[in-house]
Amino acid sequence: MQTVGHFINGNMIVEDNQTQPIYDPSTGEVTKHVSLGGAKTIDEAVAAAKAAFPAWRKTPPMKRARVMFKFKELLEQNADEICRLVGEEHGKISHDAAGELQRGIENVEYACGAPELLKGEHSRNVGTDIDSWSEFHPLGVVAGITPFNFPVMVPLWMFPMAIVCGNTFVLKPSERDPSATLFIAKLLQQAGLPDGVLNVVNGGKPAVDAILHHPDIKAVSFVGSTPIAEYIYTTAAAQGKRCQALGGAKNHAIVMPDADLDNVVTSLLGAAFGSSGERCMALSVAVVVGDETADKMIAALQPAIHELKFGVHSNKNNDFGPVITEAHKSKILGYIKSAADQGASLVIDGSNAAPEGYENGFFVGPTLIDNVTKQMSSYQEEIFGPVLQVMRVQTMEEAIELINDHEYGNGTCIYTRDGESARYFVDNIQVGMVGVNIPLPVPVASQSFGGWKRSLFGDLAMYGPDGVRFFTRRKTITQRWPSAILREEKQFAMPT
Ligand code: NAD
């Protein structure tokens, strides 16, 4: 059976002293193993990245961008293979994997603008014959740690931008579905990236801790669950590293009485159940204003949910696939049971779902729960599964207060036909990414992605303009040439 290794200094390295199984979540079978690197592996990857840095730092941004142009082409040419690898280890249906890849490619396209993005800022004659300008310098060796749910897109949020900014990179992908990530790293080598500029080390906590404590790593970009994000942020910051750590979510949609209910139902299906709800921007709670609206919405949702198809990733007719592991499936079932035990109404229960022929897969069917309240653990915590919960409120203000009180603040949406309500919502909601009749308001690559509250630790969001800032540091130069120096008196006051 194949053991998935690391990619260091342009070479695949398999260490089989410590490994972990990789499952096909559709069948529940072990299909591969993955090497689990530790401090020694991270040392090797950092040494390779450190050695590659001086030459890469000096490579003109246009030449760095050319590598990314070629990389984009290779990602497109190899799309089927990438989606297959994602499907086999994550379980994502190929159309969903293709969407993930496309959003990742958009970040590569944005990174191709490196010469423009790194232009700096210039002020002429800030004093007599004095010019001043800011330059954006790379940090050195930087690292990324990524989650299982987007094994292609989230790494592409990070390393293309870091690399075009002149940094060298050590990536630690999720040990649960590492093959697609490794595959795209090798494509970047094929696109002409010098060895050592991008290195991939697989592993779990020991590899992450080695990154956090390595003196040669200058910055850490993390995406994953909130408890780990907080740990990464506090540990990296204590080590003097720059850090951005994106965490979990509970994304609410407010459904106003004037909303277009057909649109609400259609778009909620994809936003709640797409990718089995394993998206940090999944809409997992519908907060409905007024009982009449809630009753109508539930009546329309029920038949639509019964029609959803879920099953193996290779069947394009399926709407969504399995969840990532047996343990995660049990956790989701626990939340469904706890909601019912705590008094919610289980309208559709997907707990005992098993598509024919895939009885051992990690499947949870689409689940709809009504009359959910604030105190329930299924509401307070992130479920990360195909479960849509409905809460009933009487006013929009009540809905806004509910959302603002939640510990997470990643994404949210309002469904309404009323501009005044939409504007009030946008203005008063304590959430980082906001949609108006848009259920998954994931910012495009030229914006930046980041939540508020405990969905993001750090000052800068991911990719876009914030990505450039995160992966560079500013140097400001103030210059006067000797020929222009006026003979001055000694001056001890602050120069003006
Ligand atoms: P996770 O936190 O379990 O793992 C993320 C990364 O951290 C992995 O590389 C993993 O190996 C590492 N890790 C896990 N446990 C660790 C520990 N104890 N110490 C150090 N490192 C550790 O997350 P996941 O289950 O892979 O991904 C799902 C989570 O990610 C969800 O909470 C989801 O909301 C979140 N997510 C957030 C965003 C966002 O942009 N905010 C995007 C995608 C996913």
CATH (domain of 431)? 3.40.309.10
In a domain, 240, yes or no: yes
Contact 214, 43 (CB under 8 A): yes
Separation between Cα atoms, residue 307 and residue 194, nearest integer Å: 50
pLDDT in tens, the chain (496 residues): 899 999 999 999 997 689 999 999 999 999 999 999 999 999 999 999 999 999 999 999 999 999 999 999 999 999 999 999 999 999 999 999 999 999 999 999 999 999 999 999 999 999 988 999 999 999 999 999 999 999 999 999 999 999 999 999 999 999 999 999 999 999 999 999 999 999 999 999 999 999 999 999 999 999 999 999 999 999 999 999 999 999 999 999 999 999 999 999 999 999 999 999 999 999 999 999 999 999 999 999 999 999 999 999 999 999 999 999 999 999 999 999 999 999 999 999 999 988 999 999 999 999 999 999 999 999 999 999 999 999 999 999 999 999 999 999 999 999 999 999 999 999 999 999 999 999 999 999 999 999 999 999 999 999 999 999 999 999 999 999 876 555 566 778 887 7
* Residue 384 Cβ contacting ligand 1 at under 6 Å: yes
Question: What φ, ψ does residue 274 adopt, rounded to 5°?
Answer: -55, 140
pLDDT score recorded for residue 482: 73
Please report, to the nearest 10 degrees, the dihedral formed by the alpha carbons of residues 338, 341, 346, 348 taken in order.
50
Please check whether residues 259 and 241 belong to one and the same domain: no
Residue 444 is assigned to a structural domain of this protein: no
In 3D space, the residue among 75, 84, 110 whose CA is nearest the CA of residue 191 turns out to be: 75
Catalytic residue flag (residue 280): yes
Is residue 420, in this structure, part of any structural domain at all? Answer: yes
C-alpha of residue 155 to centroid of ligand 1, in Å: 13
Domain co-membership, 206 together with 313: no
- Give the pLDDT confidence score for residue 354 in this predicted structure: 86
Residue 374 lies in a domain: yes
Strand order, beta sheet including 3-4? 3-4, 29-35, 19-24
Is any ligand 1 atom within 6 A of the Cβ of residue 390?
no
Q: Is 227 in the pocket of ligand 1 (CB under 6 A)?
A: no
Ligand 1: does its nearest atom lie under 6 Å from the Cβ of 324?
no
Q: Are residues 222 and 270 in the same domain?
A: no
Do 173 and 32 share a structural domain? yes
Q: Please check whether residue 19 is in contact with residue 6, taking contact to mean a CB–CB distance below 8 angstroms.
A: no
Q: Closest residue (by CA) to atom 20 of ligand 1?
A: 205
Residues 339 and 274 in one domain: yes
The string over 431-453, giving b where at least 16 C-beta atoms fall within 10 Å of a residue's C-beta and e elsewhere, is bbbbbebbbbbebebeebbbbeb
pLDDT at 485: 57
Please give the Cα distance from 322 to 375 (Å, whole number).
29
Question: Of the residues 6, 103, 149, which should be mutated to test ligand 1's pocket, given the most ligand atoms within 8 Å of the CB?
Answer: 149
Strand order in the sheet with 472-479: 121-127, 130-138, 472-479
- Distance (angstroms) between ligand 1 centre and the Cα of 178 equals 13
Q: Is the CB of 318 under 6 A from ligand 1?
A: no
209 CA to centre of ligand 1 in angstroms? 14
Do 157 and 241 belong to one domain? yes
What's at 197, amino acid-wise? V
CA atoms of 358 and 367, how far apart (whole Å): 19
Instruction: For ligand 1, pick from 18, 150, 228 the residue to mutate: most ligand atoms within 8 Å of CB.
Output: 228
Closest atom of ligand 1 to 146 CA is: 9
**Residue 156 to residue 103: CA distance in whole angstroms:** 9
Atom of ligand 1 at shortest range from CA of 449: 40
Residue partners of 136: CB distance under 8 A and separation at least 6: 118, 120, 165, 468, 472, 473, 474, 475
Both 264 and 199 in a single domain?
A: no
Contacts of 273 (CB under 8 A, 6+ apart): 305, 308, 310, 319, 320, 366, 386, 388
Residues 240 and 267 in one domain: no
Pairing of strands 141-145, 29-35: unpaired
Domain annotation covers residue 69 = yes
Short-list 185, 208, 207, 221, CA closest to 41: 207
Distance 394 CA to ligand 1 centre (A): 36
d(CA 398, CA 24): 43
Task: Let me know whether 259 and 230 are in one domain.
Answer: no
- Atom nearest to 209 CA in ligand 1: 20
Residue 377: which H helix or E strand, with range?
helix 377-380
SS (H, E, C) 228-276: HHHHHHHHHHHCCCEEEEECCCCEEEEECCCCCHHHHHHHHHHHHHHHH
Range of the domain at 88: 3-247+455-477
| CA distances for 427 relative to 279, 283, 360, 424, angstroms | 25, 20, 47, 5
208 lines ligand 1 (CB under 6 A): yes
Q: Is 305 helix (H, G, I), strand (E, B) or coil?
A: helix
Q: Is any ligand 1 atom within 6 A of the Cβ of residue 248?
A: yes
Q: Could you tell me if residue 299 is inside a domain?
A: yes
Same domain as 255, residue 240: no
Helix-, strand-, coil-residue percentages of the chain, each rounded to 5: 40, 25, 35
The alpha carbon of 223 and the centre of ligand 1 are apart by a number of angstroms equal to: 6
Domain assignment present for 193:
yes
Report which ligand 1 atom has the smallest distance to the Cα of 246.
41
Dist. CA 351–CA 340, nearest whole Å: 12
| Per-residue confidence (pLDDT) for residue 123, from 0 to 100 | 96
Q: Is 410 in the pocket of ligand 1 (CB under 6 A)?
A: yes
Q: Which distant-in-sequence residues (6+ apart) come within 8 Å of 383 by Cβ?
A: 277, 284, 332, 335
- Residue with CA nearest ligand 1 atom 9: 174
Q: Are 463 and 445 in contact (CB under 8 A)?
A: yes
What is the number of other CB atoms lying within 10 angstroms of the CB of residue 343? Answer: 11
The finding on whether 224 has its CB within 6 A of some atom of ligand 1 is: yes
Tally of domains within the chain: 2
Cα torsion 377, 380, 385, 390 to 10°: value is 90
Helix, strand, or coil (residue 168)? strand
Among candidate residues 431, 476, 474, the one with its CA nearest the CA of residue 452: 431
Q: Which residues does 36 contact at the CB level (< 8 Å), separation at least 6?
A: 18, 19, 20, 175, 202, 203, 204, 206, 207
Claim to verify: residue 329 and residue 236 sit in the same structural domain: no
> Relative to the CA of 228, which ligand 1 atom is closest?
2
391 φ/ψ angles, rounded to the nearest 5 degrees: -120, 145
On whether both 302 and 232 belong to a single domain, the answer is: no
How far away, in angstroms, is 196 Cα from ligand 1 center? 25
Q: Does the CB atom of residue 175 touch ligand 1 within 6 A? A: yes
Looking at the domain assignment, is residue 285 inside a domain?
A: yes
CATH number at residue 27: 3.40.605.10
Distance of CA 384 to the CA centre of its chain: 14
Q: Helices (H), strands (E): how many in the chain? A: 16, 23
The residue whose CB lies within 8 Å of the most ligand 1 atoms, and thus the one to mutate among 280, 328, 362, 381, is 280
Is 205 a pocket residue for ligand 1 (Cβ < 6 Å)?
A: yes
> 348: CA distance to ligand 1 center in Å?
29
Residues forming a β-bridge with 474: 136
What's the CA gap between 22 and 177, in Å, rounded? 7
